[in-house]
């Protein structure tokens, strides 16, 4: 027996995001987002997939809530589509958009499931992108106004709020690496956007406090672990720079009120230090109630001059990989959580995303996704190790409830514990759904079963 047991008060949930599951992209007054534009630009998304229909959760949310209820989870993380509320990004409000989210939240509450709402999960209104998007500081204020509208509308119904999901993906993956929307490749643009995202986060938190909204608020940075290939200082330093890109760059401003000097040095060397105005860091660093941590994978890295921005080369040392070709590295999850506790203190933590891509299909009405079960076992064990080390874990939300639109990979990469047939939209609970259901019910699992 190898029992891994969790505290009774721990929250168990699942996570999704608007553009990835809703569909109804042109329905009920929704405005276009940058992902509507990006996905319909040939070559950007595998197989030319887009979010026009997705999982059709806009129409099937009641079915999805019943799937959650049977799963036994007590929290569900979803995101609100900004262009469904403000089709032009600002100005006129789309009442049908608000009504959809009231319907969803009411359905969740009626079924004993707590809503956790992400305000920004990458679907910027295209109208704002046309005015410069996140590079334009006016978008920061537009986000604060959007957030205020949602706070006022749902105060008392929604009590767990996340401002920005994975600001690293929104800034660097989307504006420097360029594989996500809007698809630019400019480091200075990306660092300015990373600053504006943190500013937007801070302004939304300020509105939340001013309005005295009931509940708690945080943000959800994505993390990865980089293990030095050797004990050579150059390997250690290279990995610290690589991790600093995800962790210190997005945590230090919020928790310490300044950017990490070792990262500023790197960006400055490339003429890409962000434009910071007086007062910005005070806005960014006001207190938050929790941090959402997204973790998927880690790698081994070593120093190699000019290998990338950080003179860092990732080394394949033969770890098992998921169908996304990401290392399965649960030790990194444990180490990331300890690093965050050690560097930023005892902030309450929700694991707002953790999961694996396995593309198992339905055979005779069943999806045998043992790889995903093994991944969840290993990473939940790392979570328990972190908890036993003093990390204040408040909840764990699996990514994802449903197979969905995995951005540039389209529908080809499946992260769900529920299979979706994207031709018929039929939902099929995978073996991992039943395993997770039992784990949520028991509050423990046996590594050997």
Residues tagged active-site: 166, 353
165 labeled binding residue: yes
121 labeled binding residue: yes
- Binding of ligand JSK by 369 (CB under 6 A): no
Under 8 Å CB-to-CB from 46, ≥6 apart: which residues? 408, 409, 410, 412
Task: Return the number of other C-beta atoms located less than 10 Å from residue 8's C-beta.
Answer: 6
Distance of alpha carbon 66 from alpha carbon 73, whole angstroms: 11
Minimum CB separation of residue 163 from ligand JSK in Å reads 15
Whole-number CA gyration radius for the chain:
21
How many CA within 13 A on the CB side of residue 162?
A: 31
Whether the CB-CB separation of 305 and 340 falls below 8 Å is answered with no
Task: Report which DSSP code applies to 32.
Answer: P
- Binding of ligand JSK by 303 (CB under 6 A): no
- Binding of ligand JSK by 177 (CB under 6 A): yes
- Binding of ligand JSK by 166 (CB under 6 A): yes
Chain-centroid distance of CA 274 in Å reads: 23
Tokens representing residue 315 in the block: 């080394």
- Binding of ligand JSK by 173 (CB under 6 A): yes
Q: Which is nearer to ligand JSK, 358 or 407 (CB)?
A: 407
Phi, psi of 41 (to 5 degrees): -90, 115
Whether the CB-CB separation of 367 and 430 falls below 8 Å is answered with yes
Minimum CB separation of residue 390 from ligand JSK in Å reads 27
Distance of alpha carbon 57 from alpha carbon 25, whole angstroms: 11
Stretch that binds ligand JSK, among 112-120, 166-174, 232-240, 371-379 (CB under 6 A): 166-174
Query: Could you say which of 406, 430, 433, 439 contacts ligand JSK (CB under 6 A)?
Result: 406
Minimum CB separation of residue 401 from ligand JSK in Å reads 12
Tokens representing residue 7 in the block: 């505290």
Query: Could you say which of 56, 107, 248, 353 contacts ligand JSK (CB under 6 A)?
Result: 353
- Binding of ligand JSK by 315 (CB under 6 A): no
Closest-CA residue to 396 (of 7, 1, 2): 7
Stretch that binds ligand JSK, among 171-179, 260-268, 359-367, 383-391 (CB under 6 A): 171-179
Distance of alpha carbon 197 from alpha carbon 145, whole angstroms: 14
Phi, psi of 79 (to 5 degrees): -125, 155
- Binding of ligand JSK by 129 (CB under 6 A): no
Distance of alpha carbon 165 from alpha carbon 368, whole angstroms: 30
Q: Which is nearer to ligand JSK, 358 or 399 (CB)?
A: 399
Number of residues that bind ligand JSK (CB under 6 A): 15
- Binding of ligand JSK by 222 (CB under 6 A): yes
Stretch that binds ligand JSK, among 58-66, 95-103, 172-180, 210-218 (CB under 6 A): 172-180
399 labeled binding residue: yes
Tokens representing residue 21 in the block: 């599951």
20 labeled binding residue: yes
Query: Could you say which of 17, 85, 140, 391 contacts ligand JSK (CB under 6 A)?
Result: 17
The residues that touch ligand JSK, with contacts defined as CB under 6 A, are 17, 20, 166, 169, 173, 177, 179, 222, 224, 294, 296, 353, 399, 406-407
Q: Which residues are annotated as a binding site for substrate?
A: 20, 121, 165, 296, 399, 406-407
């Amino acid at each position: 027996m190898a029992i891994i047991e969790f505290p009774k008060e721990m929250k168990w949930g699942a996570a999704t995001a608007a553009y990835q599951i809703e569909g109804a992209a042109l329905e009920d007054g929704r405005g276009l987002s940058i992902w509507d534009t990006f996905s319909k630009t040939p070559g950007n998304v595998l197989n030319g997939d887009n979010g026009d229909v997705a999982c059709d959760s806009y129409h099937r949310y009641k079915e999805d809530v019943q799937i959650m209820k049977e799963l036994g989870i007590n929290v569900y993380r979803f995101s609100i589509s900004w262009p469904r509320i403000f089709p032009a990004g600002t100005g006129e409000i789309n009442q049908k958009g608000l009504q959809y989210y009231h319907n969803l939240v009411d359905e969740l509450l009626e079924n004993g499931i707590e809503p956790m709402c992400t305000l920004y999960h990458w679907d910027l209104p295209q109208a704002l992108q046309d005015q410069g998007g996140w590079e334009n500081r006016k978008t920061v204020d537009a986000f604060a106004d959007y957030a205020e509208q949602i706070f006022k509308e749902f105060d008392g119904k929604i009590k767990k709020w996340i401002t920005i999901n994975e600001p690293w993906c929104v800034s660097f993956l989307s504006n420097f690496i360029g594989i996500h929307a809007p698809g630019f490749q400019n480091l200075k643009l990306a660092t300015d956007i990373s600053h504006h995202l943190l500013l937007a986060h801070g302004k939304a938190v300020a509105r939340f406090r001013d309005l005295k909204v009931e509940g708690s608020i945080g943000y959800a940075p994505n993390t990865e672990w980089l293990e030095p290939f050797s004990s050579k200082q150059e390997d250690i330093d290279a990995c610290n720079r690589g991790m600093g890109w995800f962790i210190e760059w997005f945590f230090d401003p919020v928790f310490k009120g300044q950017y990490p000097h070792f990262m500023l040095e790197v960006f400055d060397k490339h003429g890409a230090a962000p434009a910071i105005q007086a007062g910005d860091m005070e806005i960014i660093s006001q207190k938050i109630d929790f941090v959402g941590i997204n973790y998927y994978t880690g790698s081994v890295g070593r120093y190699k001059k000019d290998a990338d921005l950080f003179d860092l080369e990732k080394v394949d040392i033969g770890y098992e990989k998921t169908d996304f070709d990401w290392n399965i590295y649960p030790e990194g999850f444990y180490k990331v959580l300890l690093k965050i506790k050690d560097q930023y203190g005892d902030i309450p933590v929700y694991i707002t995303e953790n999961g694996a891509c396995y593309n198992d299909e339905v055979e005779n009405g069943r999806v045998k996704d043992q790889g995903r079960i093994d991944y969840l076992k290993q990473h939940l064990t790392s979570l328990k190790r972190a908890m036993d080390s003093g990390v204040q874990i408040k909840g764990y939300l699996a990514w994802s409830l449903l197979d969905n639109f995995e951005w540039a990979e389209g529908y080809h990469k499946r992260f769900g514990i529920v299979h979706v047939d994207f031709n018929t939209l039929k939902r099929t609970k995978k073996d991992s759904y039943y395993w997770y259901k039992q784990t949520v019910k028991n509050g423990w699992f046996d590594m050997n079963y």
